[in-house]
Each structure stands twice: as structure tokens, then as C-alpha cells.
Amino acid sequence: MKPRCSVLTTGRLDIDHVAALEALQGPVTIDRRCEAPAELLATARHTQADAALLIGQPEIITGSFVEQLRGCGLRVVVITDLLAERERLRLLGVRSLPDDVPAETLAQALQEEGRTQAEHTSGGEVLRSAAPGAVEGWGLSSASGDPMPKLPPPPRSRGSQEIPKDTGAVPRGITAVWGPHGAPGRTTTAISIASELAIAGAQVLLVDADSWSASAAAHLGLLEESAGLAQACRAADRGTLDGPGLVRLAQTVRTAGSSWDVLTGLPRPERWAELRPRAVERVLHLAAARYSHVIIDVAAPLEHNEEISFGTSAPQRNSAAVSSLSAADQVILVGAPDPVGFSRLVRSLGDYAEAVPDGVAPKVVINQLRGEVVGRSPQRRIAEAWARYGGGQVGAPAIEAYLPYDRSACDTALRHGQVLAECAEHSELRRAFAALVGVTVPRRRRWGLKK
């Protein structure tokens, strides 16, 4: 005899499925009939139900909503007569059935929907299905257990020109640019390395995932407040985002004879809740399958908002940053050399390890290096201080690069909405950013001298 299966349900179409299930007098019983999905979710958090049956209104069912139900230990089954919605739910890994489904079949689905998660899981990682019509990059079969699983590494697309594989080159894939509070130059670094890679011939997407103060669009002179990342996350949460759709949501930037794409950030910071973590993961996975290099500009805060998360599953404002860092193939940690900025940089190593315990070791970059705040031989002094305070930590990385201070070039670029390759082509700062990603910038020829 199958074990008892208690069900929470909401909604109704033409057929009374609750009465049909009860008439079977089997192990499936309806514990509570909720007025709305929100009530069902609240009830799920405080009961020991086994499954959730959602009837009608499939348009409100997103990956995040299903994830919350499954986080409460519930199997999820949806009934809808809309074929397009059943296909969308299938791509989210949700079992859906038509309204005329026999009660016996529905009861079996409510009892067995969760079994397929183990069948499609190996080593804790959900395997992708090759189901026809699956969304490009993360198609999931209807049997998939987690609606938003941790996705396997995507295939890397190739740019029109190979990037030199120097020691300091940024590898193909996802690179997150992060750093502590205090404006150490995260956005400038992200934009600069993205533009240098694009000029070298790579296919590049810049993602502004700063949920506190997105500014990549302003740096590049993009006046349209399109909130490209938020739109992509909404589509990903509904299971309707594919590779071509992602490209359509990105804005194309043309600099120094090259072009690259940008997913702009939030025009208003209060919209941070739209950047749900699993949706961000899906967007990045699709992006890595379409572009050879995905550069993410990430906000400084990583901590949880304890005041809104205690005892609840409330959204977290910093989840976009944590998700981006977790998905990254490489993390560039940008810090300032002044006493305040340097101490924040040292502490940020611990913050990163705590927030992203399984993350890659960051590449430490000192930006805005100048003798005025450090003293004579600033690079040597910073290296000594790092060896004593930062590099002395267990597993702490070494400083990979020192970027010179060039306030004039940065101000000019910001004023004109340009990148350094356009307004300060031969500056040492531009050359240092290019070297950071393994791109060599030719030096200016002097009159009367041979090359």
C-alpha cells in the first residue's frame, strides 16, 4: 500500500478535481483548499503536506514560486488546458496536466512527481534533457525535479579572434568584477576589460548586476532605461527566455571599431527584488553559451538581510551578487591602495569566503595606485602590506596586477560616455586594463624612430 499523500490545493476549472480525488478513497487526501496561491505558499511553510495541486492560472507560476514550494518539501503538479502554458511549465521542470485528466492519473502524479528528481540526478547535479523544443542552453525534461537546478557548465562559444593566452589573461566564460565598499573602481574595471576583449575580437556581454547602484549605462552614455537584466530575469523566471531572446534584450555598444553587448542594470534601486538568484543563474548560463566572455559588474555587499529573513524565505537584496560570484569562472577583486580602501580589501577576503564558500579564488587587483596616499615606491609598499595583512591569511591569493591612477582619463571617459580606448587610447591605465585580460596594446610610434 502506498503511503498517505496529503495535498494542498488552490484554484478550479470545469472539473472538481478535489471531489474526484476524495472519491477514490485512496492514499491521496486533500488537507486544505486555499483561496489563492499566496495562501497555499504560506500554508506550506507551516504544515507537513506532501504535494501542491495548482488548478488554473498557470501564468502566475514562475520558477521562483515553484522553488519555494519545493523548498517546503512539496511535490508540485499543475492543471491547465493551455497547451502553451503546459510547454512552458515543462521547460521549468513542472508536471502539468489537462483539465480532463482522470482522477487516477492525477493521484499517481501527486504521489510520484518527485521520484524523477533522483532518477535524473547524478552527484547532486541535475542532468539536462535533450527534449525537443527545450529552451536553448537549459532545456529540462518534464521529469526534472528542481525547477531551477544548478546548471552544468555551458559550452563556450568562440569569438572571431583568439585572445592571447598570457598568464594574466581572463579565461573564456564568466568573469565577475567585485570589490569592497568605497568605489575602488569596479564598474570602470568591468567596462574597460569588456571593451578591450571586444576590440581584440571576442564576443562580449557586460552584465550590470549591481542591485544597489547600477551605473554601467551611465558610464557608456546609454540614456534608455531599459533594465535589460531585470527583463531577462523575469523571462527566465517564467521559463520563456532563450538565447536569441537574451540577445534582443541586450543593447549593443560600438567602441573603437568593435561592438559588444550590455545587459543594463536597474534604473531604480528599489527594483532589486526582480533579480531573483536562480533567475540570475539562468541568465548567466544562457549568456555563457552565447558569448565567449561574460563580464559582470557586481555590488559590494554580500551579507544576508537578517531583519527580513529570520524565520522566512524573504528575498535578499544581495542575492544577485552572491549568485553572480557563485556562477563565475573567475573573480577579479578590485581594491584601492589608500589606508581605508586597503583595510576594506583585506576584510573582503573573509566576506567572500563566507558568502561564496565554493567560489573560485579571486584575482586581486590594486586600482588607483599612486604615491600620494601610499608614499614612495607605492607598489613595493602595497606588496609588503599585503604579504603581512592580506596574503598572510590561509589560502589568500597574491596581488595579480597594479593599475595606475589616471583621474583625468577616467573623468574624460565618463564625461563623454566613452571607454578608455576611445578617449585615452595610449594611456598607461588603458594599457594596464588590456594587459589584465591578456591583450597587448601597440605603443604609439614616435616621429623619427623606427618601429
pLDDT digits (tens, 9 = 90+) for 363-393: 999 999 999 999 899 999 999 999 888 765 6
Q: Which residue has the cell 547600477?
A: 214
Residue 10 CA to residue 23 CA, distance in Å, equals 18
Q: Given this model, what pLDDT does residue 283 score?
A: 96
Q: In this model, does residue 2 exceed pLDDT 80?
A: no
Q: Given this model, what pLDDT does residue 392 score?
A: 58
pLDDT digits (tens, 9 = 90+) for 39-65: 998 888 888 899 999 998 888 888 888
Residue 199 CA to residue 169 CA, distance in Å, equals 15
How many other C-beta atoms can be found within 10 angstroms of the C-beta atom of residue 266? 24
Q: What is the mean pLDDT of the chain?
A: 83
Pairing relationship of beta strands 251-255 and 258-263 according to DSSP bridges: antiparallel
Greatest mean pLDDT range, 217-231, 234-248, 432-446: 234-248
Q: Given this model, what pLDDT does residue 303 score?
A: 87
Q: Which residue has the cell 502554458?
A: 85
Q: Given this model, what pLDDT does residue 169 score?
A: 57
Q: In this model, does residue 124 exceed pLDDT 50?
A: no
CB 355 within 8 A of CB 325: yes
Residue 332 CA to residue 400 CA, distance in Å, equals 9
Whole-structure pTM value: 0.75
Q: In this model, does residue 233 exceed pLDDT 50?
A: yes
What lies within 8 Å, CB to CB, of 190 at 6+ separation is 177, 206, 216, 295, 296, 297
Q: Given this model, what pLDDT does residue 113 score?
A: 60
Greatest mean pLDDT range, 61-75, 104-118, 194-208, 437-451: 194-208
CB 207 within 8 A of CB 295: yes
CA dihedral 343, 349, 354, 360 (to 10 degrees): 160
For residues 430 and 72, the model is more confident at 430
Q: Given this model, what pLDDT does residue 95 score?
A: 92
Q: Given this model, what pLDDT does residue 393 score?
A: 62
Pairing relationship of beta strands 173-178 and 293-297 according to DSSP bridges: parallel
Q: Given this model, what pLDDT does residue 282 score?
A: 92
Q: Let me know the angle formed at the C-alpha of 213 by 424 and 259, rounded to the nearest 5 degrees.
A: 40
Q: Which amino acid is at 60?
A: I
| 202: nearest Cα among 255, 250, 158 | 158
Per residue, what are the HEC states of the chain?
Answer: CCCCEEEEEECCCCCCHHHHHHHHCCCEEEEEEECCHHHHHHHHCCCCCCEEEEECCHHHCCHHHHHHHHHCCCEEEEECCCHHHHHHHHHCCCEEECCCCCHHHHHHHHHHCCHHHHHCEECCEECCCCCCCCCCCCCCCCCCCCCCCCCCCCCCCCCCCCCCCCCCCCCCEEEEEECCCCCCCHHHHHHHHHHHHHHCCCCEEEEECCCCCCCHHHHCCCCCCCCHHHHHHHHHHHCCCCHHHHHHHCEEEEECCEEEEEECCCCCHHHHHHCCHHHHHHHHHHHHHHCCEEEEECCCCCCCCHHHHCCCCCCCCCHHHHHHHHHCCEEEEEECCCHHHHHHHHHHHHHHHHHCCCCCCCEEEEEEECHHHHCCCHHHHHHHHHHHHHCCCCCCCCEEEEEECCHHHHHHHHHHCCCHHHHCCCCHHHHHHHHHCCCCCCCCCCCCCCC
pLDDT digits (tens, 9 = 90+) for 293-347: 999 999 999 987 655 554 555 678 899 999 999 999 999 999 999 999 999 999 9
Q: In this model, does residue 166 exceed pLDDT 90?
A: no
Residue 393 CA to residue 351 CA, distance in Å, equals 13
Q: Given this model, what pLDDT does residue 391 score?
A: 64
Q: Let me know the angle formed at the C-alpha of 53 by 48 and 56, rounded to the nearest 5 degrees.
A: 150
**b/e burial code for range 160-182 (CB count within 10 A of at least 16 → b):** eeebeeeeebbebbbbbbbbbee
Confidence tier at 174 by pLDDT (50, 70, 90):
very high
Burial of 358 (0-12, 13-18, 19+ CB in 10 A): exposed
Residue 143 CA to residue 73 CA, distance in Å, equals 17
CB 159 within 8 A of CB 202: yes
Confidence tier at 361 by pLDDT (50, 70, 90):
very high
Pairing relationship of beta strands 5-10 and 51-55 according to DSSP bridges: parallel
Q: Given this model, what pLDDT does residue 210 score?
A: 96
Q: Given this model, what pLDDT does residue 121 score?
A: 32
Positive or negative: CA dihedral 53, 57, 59, 64: negative
Crossing angle for the helix pair 228-238 and 277-290, nearest 10 degrees?
100
Percent of the chain surpassing pLDDT 70: 81
Q: Given this model, what pLDDT does residue 114 score?
A: 46
Q: In this model, does residue 91 exceed pLDDT 50?
A: yes
For residues 216 and 309, the model is more confident at 216
CA dist 40 → 11, 53, 81, 164, 418 (Å) = 10, 10, 21, 55, 51
Q: Which residue has the cell 501542491?
A: 52
User: Quick one: how far is CA 423 from the chain centroid?
Assistant: 31
